[in-house]
């Protein structure tokens, strides 16, 4: 079964997403970029509110959009976010000359880091292999640009399947995100990642608008349904707004 990661920006959204069936609550600020970070104070507040109602619900948070060569800043932010009480710290890493060094730094920090490999324009298979061997708790594949294209527009399904399998074989959690909507549902199900992450697909009117608990519940139902029970029987309600619901 693929778990649903819901990206939220407030305690109200976090509680709504958890109640609607999201397995992993991800804290970020969509107004500040693809992996925009919330303030440490906001993270602590949301964690307190969520833990009071859902004490074992996993929580992740992003550090913000930081260049891969800003190693000192990355290290500082990772520790600050980790110390705010979350379970997983998400850090975006794009292919480039500093990517390998960034991954090595992240692997040696005293925090449960999940590198988010940003696949805009493609992904370096050697970088994926490196990430898989460094002992991270998880590896996700995502996009930095929110321009209407999806993860599958930048990376073919065969490559993604290979990379997800490599990640899982190393004992890490595998995940995908990147402007995913109902049009990509069958591809998501075929890949069967451990986690699929969404923001705009769960919102009323774009990724910067309010998260809609009903959409969270629809995605949770669809992702959790056994593959043998699919048979093209998703309801109109589950398909919601079709292609207009993207991350």
CB proximity list for 212: less than 8 A, separation 6 or greater:
202, 203, 204
Give dist(CA 17, CA 213) in Å, integer: 6
Q: Is 146 designated active site? A: no
Give dist(CA 116, CA 93) in Å, integer: 6
Q: Which of 9, 20, 22, 28 is catalytic?
A: 28
How is residue 147 written in tokens? 């321009």
CB proximity list for 5: less than 8 A, separation 6 or greater:
22, 23, 24, 25, 26, 60, 175, 177, 195, 196, 197, 198
Q: Is 57 designated active site? A: no
Q: Which of 9, 77, 90, 246 is catalytic?
A: 90
Query: Catalytic positions, please?
Result: 28, 90
């Amino acid at each position: 079964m693929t778990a649903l990661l819901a990206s939220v920006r407030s305690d109200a959204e976090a509680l709504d997403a958890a109640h609607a069936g999201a397995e992993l609550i991800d804290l970020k600020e969509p107004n500040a970029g693809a992996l925009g970070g919330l303030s440490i104070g906001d993270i602590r507040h949301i964690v307190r509110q969520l833990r009071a109602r859902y004490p074992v619900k996993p929580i992740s948070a992003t550090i913000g959009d930081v260049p891969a060569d800003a190693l000192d800043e990355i290290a500082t932010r990772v520790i600050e976010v980790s110390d705010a009480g979350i379970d997983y710290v998400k850090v975006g890493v794009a292919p480039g000359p500093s990517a390998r060094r960034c991954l090595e730094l992240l692997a040696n920090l005293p925090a449960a880091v999940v590198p988010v490999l940003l696949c805009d324009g493609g992904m370096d298979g050697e970088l994926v292999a490196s990430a898989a061997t460094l002992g991270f708790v998880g590896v996700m594949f995502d996009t930095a640009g929110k321009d209407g294209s999806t993860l599958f527009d930048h990376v073919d399904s065969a490559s993604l399947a290979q990379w997800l399998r490599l990640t899982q074989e190393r004992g890490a959690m595998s995940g995908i995100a990147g402007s995913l909507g109902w049009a990509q549902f069958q591809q998501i199900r075929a890949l069967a990642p451990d986690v699929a992450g969404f923001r705009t697909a769960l919102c009323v009117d774009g990724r910067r608008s309010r998260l809609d608990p009903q959409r969270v519940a629809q995605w949770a139902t669809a992702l959790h349904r056994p593959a043998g029970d699919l048979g093209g029987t998703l309801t109109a309600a589950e398909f919601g707004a079709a292609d207009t619901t993207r991350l």
